[in-house]
């Protein structure tokens, strides 16, 4: 029996009813400008202050260290360009990141390279983990910043962030982490984990699109991102998106209230899905199984074109994604899968299913009832698969 299964929670998520409820007053009668003096304005300001407290508390930060942005990409850009431009004045023009970051980080680094900054791209292991020793070996006298993602958006691997934080603090190098996929899924404490800057985004955790935040540790001064009014301590001007910010705070509050419990539930679904898919011949799980986000499944099927797989799954009501070519509008498969050392044809056969709070055992069993048959059908028409089988003989 056909059903609809949303299994692309790493791409974006549905807004939960409690988040929408928290936002509604600010989309309707609570339209005051938070800078206005009358009570309609002051109410909005109070909501913003409360939201800032909530987000800070979830990260172990102070409210004054949270700056709201339009999302994860903006936070990444601000953190990295801001530190680079500030510390370049002190002769520090070297930045360190990893090869499998989100494009919001990688393309920001590209743009800095064109400005004359030197960028070290660290490799990752075949399991999709950054090695702390590699970070240590890359740090130099003129290193301004290390930027390593908390959890990878494609393969879900969780990086040794507390260890990298400790190392950077000892070496006196600033440390930024893109935690867009991690917030709400992994316990984060910016003080304990020695994180100087952290990016997060609302729409990956059941808040709306177009809102996010950057944590900037007290004492670090970045250049203004947007000049204008006095919003966000004059660093990021523009009338605040009160409803979006309130929604973001509510989503983070909900997600961080019971990380362990939610993670355990989703992990069970994930493991059921992985264990149900792995018996398919010639497939492999991409990324470390242990150090992995609770909802992430990423599997490559040899002799299958990821694009075709996605279309067939869509026909069956399943939303998923792939590291294969055209989804991204380019011919090259995902830089993340290539960074693991996967051959191009294996990377092209990848399927990412990301589960979340709304998924059920029935969803997983439905996916398991559809995928093997689709793989079989696609392989039956694939010249690549014919060659694989011929080579085996
Ligand atoms: C989605 C995502 C981003 C971008 O966030 P937006 O709010 O969509 O700009 C950045 N980094 C990672 C790891 C992501 O998954």
How confident is the model over 162-186, as pLDDT tens digits? 999 999 999 999 999 999 999 999 9
**Ligand 1: which atom is nearest the Cα of residue 73?**
9
C-alpha 240/C-alpha 306 separation (Å) is 41
**Ligand 1: which atom is nearest the Cα of residue 10?**
15
C-alpha 83/C-alpha 257 separation (Å) is 32
Note the pLDDT of residue 329: 57
- Residue 72 Cα to ligand 1 midpoint, Å, equals 5
Q: What is the mean pLDDT of the chain?
A: 96
CA-nearest residue, atom 5 of ligand 1: 72
Q: At 294, phi and psi to the nearest 5? A: -55, -30
Q: Which residues of the chain have pLDDT under 70?
A: 1, 325-330
C-alpha 348/C-alpha 354 separation (Å) is 18
Tell me the whole-structure pTM to 2 decimals: 0.97
From 256, 283, 319, 326, the catalytic residue: 326
Enumerate residues lining ligand 1, CB below 6 A.
71-73, 76, 102, 104, 149, 153, 178, 180-181, 201, 203-204, 212
Binding residues: 72-73, 153, 181, 201-203, 239, 326
CA-nearest residue, atom 15 of ligand 1: 153
- Do residues 361 and 269 lie in contact, with contact meaning Cβ atoms separated by under 8 Å? yes
- Residue 185 Cα to ligand 1 midpoint, Å, equals 15
C-alpha 151/C-alpha 158 separation (Å) is 4
Q: What is the pLDDT of residues 297-332, one digit of tens each?
A: 999 999 999 999 999 999 999 999 998 765 455 678
C-alpha 21/C-alpha 312 separation (Å) is 36
Note the pLDDT of residue 48: 98
Q: Which two tokens stand for residue 370?
A: 């559809």
Q: What is the pLDDT of residues 61-99, one digit of tens each?
A: 999 999 999 999 999 999 999 999 999 999 999 999 999
Note the pLDDT of residue 2: 81
- Residue 181 Cα to ligand 1 midpoint, Å, equals 8
Pocket probe mutation, ligand 1, options 148, 181, 293, 295, max atoms within 8 Å of Cβ = 181
- Do residues 290 and 270 lie in contact, with contact meaning Cβ atoms separated by under 8 Å? no
Q: What is the pLDDT of residues 131-142, one digit of tens each?
A: 999 999 999 999
Pocket probe mutation, ligand 1, options 10, 72, 128, max atoms within 8 Å of Cβ = 72
CA-nearest residue, atom 10 of ligand 1: 72
Note the pLDDT of residue 279: 98
- Residue 170 Cα to ligand 1 midpoint, Å, equals 29
Catalytic annotation on 283? no
């Amino acid at each position: 029996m056909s059903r609809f299964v949303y299994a692309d929670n790493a791409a974006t998520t549905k807004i939960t009813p409690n988040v929408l409820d928290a936002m509604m007053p600010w989309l309707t009668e609570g339209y005051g400008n938070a800078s206005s003096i009358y009570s309609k304005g002051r109410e909005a300001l109070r909501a913003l202050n409360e939201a800032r407290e909530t987000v800070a508390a979830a990260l172990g930060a102070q409210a004054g260290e949270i700056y709201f942005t339009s999302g994860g990409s903006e936070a990444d850009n601000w953190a990295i360009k801001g530190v680079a431009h500030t510390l370049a004045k002190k002769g520090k023009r070297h930045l360190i990141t990893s090869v499998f970051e989100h494009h919001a980080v990688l393309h920001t680094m590209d743009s800095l390279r064109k400005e004359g900054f030197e960028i070290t791209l660290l490799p990752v292991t075949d399991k999709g983990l950054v090695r702390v020793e590699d970070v240590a070996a890359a740090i130099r006298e003129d290193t301004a910043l290390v930027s390593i993602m908390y959890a990878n958006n494609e393969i879900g691997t969780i990086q040794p962030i507390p260890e990298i934080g400790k190392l950077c603090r000892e070496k006196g190098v600033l440390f930024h982490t893109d935690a867009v996929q991690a917030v709400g899924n992994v316990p984060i404490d910016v003080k304990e984990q020695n994180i100087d800057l952290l990016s997060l985004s609302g729409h990956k955790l059941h808040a709306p699109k177009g809102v996010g935040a950057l944590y900037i540790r007290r004492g670090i001064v970045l250049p203004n991102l947007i000049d204008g009014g006095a919003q966000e301590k004059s660093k990021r001007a523009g009338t605040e998106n009160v409803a979006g910010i309130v929604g973001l705070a509510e989503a983070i509050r909900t997600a961080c209230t019971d990380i362990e419990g939610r993670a355990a539930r989703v992990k069970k679904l994930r493991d059921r899905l992985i264990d149900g898919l792995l018996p398919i011949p010639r497939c492999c799980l991409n990324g470390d199984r242990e150090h992995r986000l609770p909802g992430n499944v990423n599997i490559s099927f040899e002799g299958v074109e990821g694009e075709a797989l996605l279309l067939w799954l869509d026909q069956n009501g399943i939303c998923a994604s792939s590291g294969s070519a055209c989804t991204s509008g380019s011919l090259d498969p995902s830089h993340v899968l290539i960074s693991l050392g996967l051959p191009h044809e294996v990377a092209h056969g990848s399927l990412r299913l990301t589960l979340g709070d709304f998924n059920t055992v029935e969803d997983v069993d439905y996916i398991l009832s559809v995928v093997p048959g689709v793989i079989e059908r696609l392989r039956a028409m694939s010249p690549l698969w014919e060659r694989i089988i011929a080579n085996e003989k």
